[in-house]
Amino acid sequence: DYQLTLLDHYCAHNELLTKVQKHYRQWKDLQQQVANFQQKCAENEAKKQLLQYQVEELDEFNLQENEFAELEEEYNRLANSEELTALSQSVLNLLSENDELNVDSLLYRAVQNLEELQALDPHYNDALTMLQEALIQVQEASSEIQHLSNNI
């Protein structure tokens, strides 16, 4: 390196030396750009291969329309199964399974009392019908929640 510098000074071709240095830097910059471009191409090719693989995998599943949504829904149910079970049990306790106090037994007692009232005064008939329907709805809701809870 030192000898080259001495030779350059001895020849006194400073302008030519400056041009060579400039062209060398340009060449190095272009070399770096080519290397960057090649790296980017390799990355893009790897991404393309990954996407092709993923598409092939999805094609192998041969999912029907709405099947992905169903799988996603099932995944969410399973991922939240502990919370679903706890909340379902809490609701069931409130509706019918709590031995001390629950909606089902309270409605049943109210229906019994209204039946006695209706026997004394027919104007209570509409209220009796509504409470009987409410009792049926609560019992059906309890059954549905129990069924869903068992299938978690």
- Does 96 reside within a domain? yes
40-54 tens-digit pLDDT: 999 999 999 999 999
**Is 64's pLDDT higher than 90?**
no
**Cα gap 60→63, rounded to integer Å:** 8
Is 66 inside any structural domain? no
- Nearest CA-CA partner of 110 in 91, 87, 90, 129: 129
Residue that finishes a domain, picked among 61, 86, 111: 61
When pLDDT is averaged across residues 4-21 and rounded to a whole number, the result is 83
| pLDDT tens-place string over residues 1-11 | 788 778 777 78
- Residue 68 is assigned to a structural domain of this protein: no
8-state DSSP, 94: I
Q: Which residue has the higher pLDDT, 1 or 130?
A: 130
Q: What is the mean pLDDT of the chain?
A: 92
- pLDDT computed for residue 14 by the predictor: 82
Angle ∠(16,18,24) on CA atoms, nearest 5: 100
Residue 19 within a domain:
yes
Q: How many other CB atoms sit within 10 Å of the CB of residue 29? A: 10
* Average pLDDT, integer, range 70-79: 91
> How many independent structural domains does the chain possess?
2
Cα separation, 24 vs 6, in Å, equals 19
Q: Which of 65, 67, 80 is nearest to 148 (CA)?
A: 80
Task: Give yes or no: residues 93 and 145 share one domain.
Answer: yes
- Decide which of 61, 85, 110 is a domain's last residue: 61
Q: Note down the domain range covering 12.
A: 2-61
| Same domain, residue pair 47 and 94 | no
Higher pLDDT, 18 or 103: 103
pLDDT band at 61 (very low <50, low <70, confident <90, very high): confident
Higher pLDDT, 66 or 122: 122
- Same domain? For 99 and 136 the reply is yes
Q: Does 102 reside within a domain?
A: yes
